[in-house]
Amino acid sequence: MYAYPQHAETTRTRFPLLARRCGWLALLLVVLAVPARAEPLTFLARAGYAPYSFDNNGQPRGIDCEVFLELARRMGMDVNIRFLPQAKIPEVLQRGDAHGVVALHKLPEMTSTLVYALRQPLRVSEYDIFYHGGAPLKYMGVASLNGKRLALPQGVPLPESLEQTAPGAEILPVTAEPDGVRLLLQRKVDAFVGQTRATFDLLGEMGMTSTVRAVGTTFSTAPVYMAVASNSGVERPEDLARLLELMLGDMLVDGTYRKIQSRYIVN
């Protein structure tokens, strides 16, 4: 196992090596038995979400995108990555206008549309609490949020202790971190929950690292998964999702995942 640094997203392999290899070979035979598609498969990724997924002069970049493209290369699968705002991704998938998604939380409304690669998360994200520098948040634990208004991005779970220790906390659901920044600047919330590294990148681009500050705690964690759309004509989506899991496990074992991660996260 890798010794991942603090606040770095972690992905852990769950498959013994022999079982993974055998499963990989069996599923690869199944996938290869399917006639080749005339067009590449289109997988969606969140736009402007450094260091995980972003467009760089027309090229997909970021940890999630590079890991996924390497998986596709090893599988001999021709893919395109299409970038969309977070709010648009579920809608496009539900219409059947894409073959899958590179990285997404497990959302209840998407379980009938997507086959998630649940046995092997792409990463487990850590979330911090961000507040306005002009209205410091004295955070001494979850109970400190009692009576506070907190913006929470889609798919991020709340700590189990929140309901008991901070029953007066008001949770405002938002699509993604930029919505939390907007509400904070408008003073409509006291704080927002943000994916730690992505939010620091976002604030850096906005020139707001001194205006919006982090508490410096791991408030919540949430896995994100690759997923295959079951309504887009993909043959055997369950088998493809399973193969993605197994291939990602191989990339963890051989060090490829860590190598890609190190290009974007310097500790």
The reported pLDDT for the residue numbered 1 is 28
The reported pLDDT for the residue numbered 5 is 32
| Lookup result for tokens 């690669």 | 117
> If you average pLDDT over residues 199-218, what whole number do you get?
96
240's tokens: 């493809």
pLDDT band at 12 (very low <50, low <70, confident <90, very high): very low
Under 8 Å between Cβ of 236 and 34? yes
Question: Hey, which CATH number is domain 124-221, 2.30.40.10, 3.40.50.300, 3.30.160.60, 3.40.190.10?
Answer: 3.40.190.10
Range 17-122+225-262: architecture per CATH: 3-Layer(aba) Sandwich (3.40)
The reported pLDDT for the residue numbered 267 is 65
> If you average pLDDT over residues 134-142, what whole number do you get?
93
Domain ranges of the chain: 17-122+225-262, 124-221
Instruction: Say whether 124-221 and 17-122+225-262 share the same fold.
Output: yes
The reported pLDDT for the residue numbered 2 is 25
Q: What is the mean pLDDT of the chain?
A: 88
> If you average pLDDT over residues 164-180, what whole number do you get?
94
> If you average pLDDT over residues 117-130, what whole number do you get?
96
**pLDDT tens figures, 75-109:** 999 999 999 999 999 999 999 999 999 999 999 99
How would DSSP label each residue in 52-114? TBEEETTEEESHHHHHHHHHHHHHT--EEEEEE-GGGHHHHHHTT-SSEEEEE---GGGTTTE
| Lookup result for tokens 């709340």 | 158
The reported pLDDT for the residue numbered 15 is 46
pTM of the model: 0.85
**pLDDT tens figures, 230-259:** 999 998 999 999 999 999 999 999 999 999
pLDDT band at 23 (very low <50, low <70, confident <90, very high): low
The reported pLDDT for the residue numbered 266 is 79
The reported pLDDT for the residue numbered 9 is 53
The reported pLDDT for the residue numbered 7 is 35
The reported pLDDT for the residue numbered 3 is 30
The reported pLDDT for the residue numbered 39 is 84
The reported pLDDT for the residue numbered 160 is 85
pLDDT band at 24 (very low <50, low <70, confident <90, very high): low
Whether residue 133 is predicted with pLDDT greater than 90 in this model: the reply is yes
The lowest-confidence range among 17-26, 66-75, 118-127 is 17-26
The reported pLDDT for the residue numbered 38 is 60
Whether residue 220 is predicted with pLDDT greater than 80 in this model: the reply is yes
Other beta carbons within 10 angstroms of residue 13's beta carbon come to: 20
The reported pLDDT for the residue numbered 209 is 94
